[in-house]
Chain A
Amino acid sequence: MDTITASHISDTADAGPPVMRQRLGRAVTEWSVTKAEWIKLRSVRVNVVGVLAAAAALVLLGVLFSALAPKDMGPGGTATNSVSFAFGGISLSQLIIGVLAALFVGSEYASGLIRTTFGAVARRTRVLRAKAIAFGCATWLAMTLGAFGAFFAGSAVYSGNLPSYSIGDPGVLRAVLSAGFYGACVALIGMAVGFLVRSAAAAIGLLLGLLMLAPLLAELVPGTAGDTLIKILPSNAGEAMMSVTSPDNLLPPWPGFAVLVAWVVGLLAAAAVTLGRRDA
């Protein structure tokens, strides 16, 4: 195919006065992109309502479970102390947060907004970090407040016959702070999966599989391999951090913390690497 080109180069090539433009904008920074993601987050009502609902679910279900705690529990049983009952709502909270986080990323891929954003900020991993900071901080704050609310309200109405913990008892403050931290971790995992699969539906499916289905399937794996697998799943690592009694089927709190952080960092790093390599 022959190419037809102009016999001369247009004389507008280097001519004309410079465009009269407004002096607008500054260099894009991590902070400015985070601000943009914060505006995106709070300007869609379902995000605000959802994060608050996740915290409220933690408090309300905590109160409900604590008030209904059976009186004739055996001493030293697992998941029967007042802290475990107070955080009984975490499975619903993580579900809400995970779905919101997957949607926060996936919906932008669906509409094409993510490409507008990438075009504006040039470096795509900035968007990943900014979303992680904005949504991670929002869920961390809300869930930490929710965790304190759930602990105090739950302890107040605890009806079981084991001693009710107070915030000053060993490991209790750590467990309460861990509940808030776990909420933020679920948000980060949800966003990382969203960036990896670039679709809200697929991300939600994978996330629910990882948080809800995997612990059930891991039960089917026999022997110590199965036991270990159960312990290192993110939901169980999170539960280990939130537990005051450290039962045998969970990791001790700090190893649990390390495993959960490894999940978050690993998935975010994988998302960052694929963002750089793939076409957007």
Chain B
Amino acid sequence: MLPAEALGGEVGALVQFTSEHAAITALGVATSLRREDAPGGPAGHRGAMIEITSLTKRYGETVAVDDLSFIVRPGIVTGFLGPNGAGKSTTMRMILGLDNPSRGRATVNGRPLVEHAAPLTELGALLEARAIHPQRSARNHLRALAATTGIPDRRVDEVLGIVGLDEVADRAAGAFSLGMGQRLGIASALLGDPETVMLDEPVNGLDPEGILWIRKLLKELAAEGRTVFVSSHLMSEMALTAEHFIIIGRGRLIADVSAAELAAMGPEPQVLVRTPYGDRLRQALASDGARVTGDGEYPDVLYVSGMESDVIGRRSAEAGVELHELAPLQESLEGIFMGLTQEAVQYHSHGAHPSTTTRQAA
């Protein structure tokens, strides 16, 4: 029989060449080997991650999470996206062991969180902002949490410094703003210096400075090799921090893709051209196979697809067509996200179609 270590390596290599489903199974094997290697041993092994397999949660007739499977990997920020009510928080609660799954399982660093001897050092989680007693100081709040796992008080002071609450640490937390509550929640997530961090809507309630701070923090945590899993209902926010996206709607997996793959899912890129001589431009471009469509509202605006903007510029110069505007359009990640989740949105607003409102000049 092969030594477990070597077999684990083989399985790891396999992962890169197999389909997602097979990858999950293969990692399951690697995980069970690791568990036999070091039962109850401390974390610090390679490949700390969150692994969700066929996770399902029913509340009576309602299916909040429906057969969800994905893996959150270390070293990058993974955005967990979906419209409100998509099941993001329920999934995170099952990862934390707060809700019992109706079916399937969620593991953190190889096993369900509740089976770890010291959960705080495996997974740092922020589920609710301001989960604090209003009359207890931030420092005492963290000291109590630290005491559960024997984390020394100096680490409490350290995380208070990291989140910038050291000056108000001895004040009653009831006077904290929502943003300060979020920072305290993030401090408690970092308390055990965990390899895996999971934050539910961490940007909520933060001021612009706080938002910049958390983007930087998330990227730093990922750069240190940690697994960073962050939920949001705002693609515009996640697009700035996440390199990988897990998108769900109505409890089901819609997409599990990298940022580049998500961008490629948009419609064919177009170039906006504004010219008073539309007909002559159409003639000039027609021979090269470009498709030109007019704008219903503005007669001088044309959309060109199948041709790069520099080629369009050259062709129009050659034909002597005067241009007033030449702008490549790119579907924003937000527009693509809206398109993907549209059928899964539970609470439809009757606004404009997202793809017409979120197009922007690149």
Contacts and interface: CB of A to CB of B under 8 A. Distances in A.
Nearest to B131: A112
B204 interface: no
A25 B255 contact: no
Contacts of A21: 44, 193-195
Identify whether the interface residues of A are mostly helix, strand, loop, or mixed. Answer: loop
Contact of B193 (A12, A24, A45, A118): A24
A111 B130 CA distance: 7
B73 A10 contact: yes
Contacts of B192: 24-25
Interface string A7-30: 111111111111111101111100
B5 interface: no
Given A25-B121, A123-B114, A43 B140 contact: yes
Interface string A91-135: 000000000000000011001110111111111000000000000
B360 interface: no
B118 A4 contact: no
Interface string A234-262: 00000000000000000000000000000
Interface stretch (B16-24, B208-216, B276-284, B345-353): B16-24
Interface residues of B, number: 79
B195 A13 contact: no
A10 B147 contact: no
B326 interface: no
A279 B99 contact: yes
A26 B150 contact: yes
B118 A28 contact: yes
Interface in A1-59: 1, 3-22, 24-28, 32-33, 35-37, 39-40, 43-46
A280 interface: yes
A123 B90 CA distance: 19
Given A1-B249, A1-B254, A43-B137, A10 B131 contact: no
A22 B155 contact: yes
B12 A14 contact: yes
Interface residues of A, number: 53
A7 B20 CA distance: 8
B206 interface: no
Contacts of B114: 122-123
Contacts of A17: 225
Contact of B149 (A8, A28, A43): A28
Contacts of B99: 279-280
Interface string B93-110: 100111110000000000
B43 to A, nearest CB: 8
B44 to A, nearest CB: 6
Contacts of B46: 14, 16, 18
B224 interface: yes
B16 A32 contact: no
A32 B133 contact: no
B275 interface: no
B116 interface: yes
A9 B16 contact: yes
Contacts, number: 196
B102 to A, nearest CB: 11
A3 B254 contact: yes
Interface in B145-180: 145-152, 155
A58 B98 CA distance: 41
Interface string A43-80: 11110000000000000000000000000000000000
A6 B195 contact: no
B20 to A, nearest CB: 5
Interface stretch (B234-242, B256-264, B289-297, B304-312): B256-264
Contacts of A115: 93, 96, 98, 127-128, 131
A17 B223 CA distance: 11
Nearest to A41: B144
B136 A40 contact: yes
B113 interface: yes
A17 B224 CA distance: 9
Contacts of A280: 93, 98-99
Contact of B20 (A9, A11, A15, A279): A9
Given A3-B256, A22-B193, A120-B119, 17 more contacts: A5-B255, A6-B256, A7-B261, A12-B74, A14-B15, A16-B46, A16-B225, A21-B44, A21-B193, A24-B152, A25-B151, A36-B146, A113-B131, A117-B148, A119-B119, A120-B145, A120-B149
Closest 9 CB pairs of A and B: A112-B131, A43-B140, A27-B117, A112-B128, A14-B12, A26-B150, A36-B147, A25-B149, A39-B144
